[in-house]
């Protein structure tokens, strides 16, 4: 009896000094909340993270910090979040690259996209755009294809990184149009766009969000969008399917993830808060102006979407015999 009593008392003492699980705490209870962007500043993911982070900070009344960890087509930043504590204080602005394309393309990944993350919220899809510098002679997608066929391997295109939807849009164009163009990977949309504007490279594939200000200023030209339908922010720009390659349809998507094991209550709270933020008229207008096609979704719905995307890109990579 004495031994049992001592054991119980020891157990009570231990419980008194054991932190409550995150679901039982008032989350968020400490600062800051970190959103990791796995690409360089100035790109689509960066702009979205800062736009949403600012509103999330006001809603949660906690500091939200955006940190760029670029490299390897988003893999480096994503891996850092996969290995972070599952406490709701580290999030990832993930993309089609980090959670669908690279897992299909890379033979060895430092994380498991399906198992190492908790899907929080799908922000939406964004069309990519085939872009050329203002000083380039190409006026249409057909011009680019004709030039590439005339001099195989001579024409290059830049992208925000290997394994991004922009990179795979270019690779898909190569396959479907039967052309040979070389890929130049950057560490984000910002550096790639800077080199395009400066005339260092003739062509890039990037999102409408990044390209729009430079298209409007006349520094670059939009030849075609990669999605199956035209985008509202560039209504006069044809799709690649319309312009030159029937059946072409590749879009990017952006989303928020937490490390696997993050309490379901925290994931649900984040999803609810973000859905309410997206419903605000000014944010709704902002997303539309950035070319984001957003629909309300739950973590479970987002998880099913990701599974379908992973299966899709495994097939595309296999059928196209694409190599990193």
* DSSP character at residue 99: I
- CATH number of the domain encompassing residue 118: 3.40.190.150
Residue at a domain's end among 225, 251, 277: 251
Taking the C-alpha atoms of residue 180 and residue 175, their distance in angstroms, rounded to an integer, is: 9
Are residues 296 and 224 part of one domain? no
* DSSP character at residue 20: P
Nearest Cα residue to 44 out of 165, 225, 201: 165
Are residues 119 and 131 part of one domain? no
Nearest Cα residue to 158 out of 149, 150, 166: 166
| Torsion-angle region of 199 (φ positive above 0: left; ψ -120 to 50: alpha; else: beta) | left
Q: How far is CA 146 from the centre of its chain?
A: 31
Number of domains the chain contains: 2
How many helices and strands (H and E) does the chain possess? 13, 10
Are residues 120 and 267 part of one domain? yes
Alpha helices in the chain (DSSP H): 2-16, 44-60, 75-82, 96, 102-105, 141-150, 165-177, 189-198, 208-217, 240-243, 264-279, 281-289, 299-319
Are residues 170 and 104 part of one domain? no
Taking the C-alpha atoms of residue 176 and residue 247, their distance in angstroms, rounded to an integer, is: 9
- CATH number of the domain encompassing residue 193: 3.40.190.10
Residue at a domain's end among 202, 235, 251: 251
pLDDT at residue 187, rounded to an integer? 85
Are residues 258 and 245 part of one domain? no
Are residues 220 and 261 part of one domain? no
Residue 1 lies in a domain: no
Residue 174 lies in a domain: yes
Residue at a domain's end among 251, 284, 300: 251
Residue 195 lies in a domain: yes
Are residues 136 and 105 part of one domain? no
Residue 18 lies in a domain: no
Residue 74 lies in a domain: yes
Are residues 304 and 283 part of one domain? yes
Residue 290 lies in a domain: yes
Q: Which value, to the nearest 10 degrees, does the dihedral of the CA atoms of residues 37, 123, 89, 65 take? A: 50
Residue 2 lies in a domain: no
- Domain containing 97 equals 30-125+253-319
Are residues 239 and 279 part of one domain? no
Residue 72 lies in a domain: yes
pLDDT in tens, the chain (324 residues): 343 444 334 443 444 443 444 443 589 987 899 999 999 898 889 999 999 999 999 999 999 999 999 988 899 999 999 999 999 999 999 999 999 999 999 889 999 999 999 999 999 998 899 999 999 999 999 999 999 999 999 999 999 888 888 999 999 999 899 999 999 999 888 899 999 999 999 999 998 878 888 999 999 999 999 999 998 889 999 999 999 999 999 888 999 999 999 999 999 999 999 999 999 999 999 898 888 888 899 999 999 999 999 998 998 888 778 877
Are residues 238 and 171 part of one domain? yes
Are residues 151 and 106 part of one domain? no
- Number of Cβ atoms within 10 Å of the Cβ of 149: 13
Are residues 265 and 209 part of one domain? no
């Amino acid at each position: 009896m004495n031994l049992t009593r001592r054991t119980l008392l020891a157990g009570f003492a231990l419980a008194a000094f054991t932190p409550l699980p995150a679901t039982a705490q008032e989350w968020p209870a400490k600062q800051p909340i970190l959103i990791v962007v796995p690409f360089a500043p100035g790109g689509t993911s960066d702009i979205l993270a800062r736009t949403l982070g600012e509103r999330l900070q006001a809603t949660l009344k906690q500091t939200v910090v955006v940190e760029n960890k670029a490299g390897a087509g988003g893999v480096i930043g994503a891996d850092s979040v996969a290995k972070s504590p599952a406490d709701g204080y580290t999030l990832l602005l993930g993309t089609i690259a980090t959670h669908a394309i690279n897992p299909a393309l890379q033979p060895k990944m430092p994380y498991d996209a399906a198992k190492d993350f908790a899907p929080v919220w799908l922000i939406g899809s964004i069309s990519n755009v085939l872009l050329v510098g203002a000083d380039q002679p190409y006026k249409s997608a057909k011009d680019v294809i004709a030039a590439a066929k005339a001099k195989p391997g001579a024409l290059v295109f830049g992208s925000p990184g290997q394994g991004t939807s922009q990179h795979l849009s270019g690779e898909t164009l190569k396959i479907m149009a039967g052309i040979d163009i070389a890929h130049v990977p950057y560490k984000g949309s910002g550096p790639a766009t800077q080199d395009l504007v400066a005339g260092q490279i003739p062509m890039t594939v990037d999102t409408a969000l990044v390209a729009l200000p430079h298209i409007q200023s006349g520094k670059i030209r939009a030849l075609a969008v990669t999605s199956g339908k035209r985008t509202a922010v560039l209504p006069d720009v044809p799709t690649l399917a319309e312009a030159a390659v029937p059946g072409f349809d590749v879009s990017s998507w952006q989303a928020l993830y937490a490390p696997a094991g993050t309490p379901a209550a925290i994931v649900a709270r984040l999803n609810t808060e973000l859905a309410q933020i997206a419903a605000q008229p000014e944010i709704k207008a902002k997303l539309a102006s950035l070319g984001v096609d957003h629909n309300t979704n739950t973590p479970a719905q987002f998880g099913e979407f990701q599974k379908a995307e992973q299966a899709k890109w495994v097939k595309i990579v296999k059928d196209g015999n694409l190599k990193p």
